[in-house]
Amino acid sequence: MNSYHLDHLQHLETEAIHIMREVAGEFERPALLFSGGKDSICLLRLAEKAFRPSDLPTPLLNVDTGHHFPELNEFRDRRAKELGGKLIVRKVEDAIAKGIAVPAPGEISRNRLQIPTLLAAVDEFRFDCCIGGARRDEEKARAKERFFSFRDSFGQWDPKNQRPEIWNLYNGRLNPGENMRVFPISNWTEMDVWEYIKREKLEVPSIYFSHKRQCVRRGGQWLPVNALVPPKPNEEVRELIVRVRTIGDIISTGCVESPATTVDDIIAEIAAARVTERGSRADDKASEAAMEDRKKAGYF
């Protein structure tokens, strides 16, 4: 190898920085979706790499379902403050109170209700572009999505009618009311994310590392015991040493038994893993086309 060689992480990094800067160059009012999860942590570092020494040209936006792990929100707020970023949080609860999001009878999950909440925030701040940390290796519908994912004035994704993306030329032109979702780390895998976290020495929320937790066996998974969906009398409850591999809502995120206490441990664990990270998310298992349906409706 000569000295003018980039390794795989450097390749993925420069691709993502290029996309970040295209957003800054082509959009009037972009926002960066930041949840505090591992993918958006990488996204934030890439934004720093793209825009420093200037301030970040986008506010950080998070849709709080009200079912977040408290550790995640604490981390989100702290990290945003450290970066001097402007954090905007919009809550599903408020959207329900305003009638923007309407739960179906008996609907406990906030998964679907995030969609109208996000779209209302996009309207409120007139965002023309939302940068997200979705990756194509997560799920089959995501595998078909472009870096610049066009949404019509209803926020909908039309998988059959996507703009072709050729070379590194992204078409960011919009008519009023239309919107773009941009995914700079589309080409990253779960392993790439953790290797990048290691290389960049990024801090992540504590729940990614193994800890002691009360878990309840439900739907073939260990879910964290929580007040929202308390264990039923016939359900098995155990105290386990677990960590989360992917963070969704507290009522649907499976915990995996793991002794991993460092980023190196996690990398070793993923290298040996026999299930994908989304294998622990009940929301995707609902049907073969679960993610496709949510994305068409405006999910990020």
Partner 1 sequence: MPSTTPVHVPVDILRFNTCGSVDDGKSTLIGRLLYDSKSLMEDQIEALERSADITGGGQINLANLTDGLRAEREQGITIDVAYRYFATPRRKFIIADTPGHVQYTRNMVTGASNANLSIILVDARLGVIEQSRRHTAIAALLRIPHLVVAVNKMDLVGWSQERFLEIRAQFEEFLPRLDIKDVKFIPMSALNGDNVVDPSPHTPWYVGPTLLGHLETVHIASDWNLNGFRLPVQWVNRPNNPTDQSLHDFRGFSGQIAGGIVKTGQKVIAFPAGIVTTVKQIWTYDGAVPEAFCPQSVTLVLEHDIDISRGSMLVGLDHLPGSHSDLQAEVCWMHPRALQAGKKYYLKHTTHTVQVAVTEIINKLNLATLESEAGATELAMNDIGEIRLRAAKPLVFDGYATNRLTGSFILIEQGTNATVAAGMLSSPREIVKPENGDYVI
Question: Which spans of this chain sit near partner 1 (rule: CB under 8 A)?
Answer: 1-2, 4-15, 17-18, 21-22, 24-25, 48-55, 136-137, 139-141, 143-144, 159-160, 162-169, 171, 173-175, 186-187, 189, 191, 195, 198-199, 264, 267-268, 271, 273-276, 278-279, 288-289, 292
Q: How far is the CB of 158 from partner 1 (least distance, A)?
A: 11
Q: Which is nearer to partner 1, 91 or 144 (CB)?
A: 144
- In this structure, which amino acid lies at residue 130? C
Q: Which is nearer to partner 1, 59 or 279 (CB)?
A: 279
CA dihedral of residues 41, 290, 280, 195 (deg, nearest 10): -30
Q: How far is the CB of 105 from partner 1 (least distance, A)?
A: 26
Q: How far is the CB of 9 from partner 1 (least distance, A)?
A: 7
Q: How far is the CB of 217 from partner 1 (least distance, A)?
A: 17
Cα–Cα distance, 126 to 27 (Å, whole number):
11
Q: How far is the CB of 198 from partner 1 (least distance, A)?
A: 7
Q: How far is the CB of 69 from partner 1 (least distance, A)?
A: 22
Q: Which is nearer to partner 1, 47 or 101 (CB)?
A: 47
Q: Which is nearer to partner 1, 63 or 256 (CB)?
A: 256
Q: Which is nearer to partner 1, 91 or 199 (CB)?
A: 199
Q: Which is nearer to partner 1, 225 or 273 (CB)?
A: 273
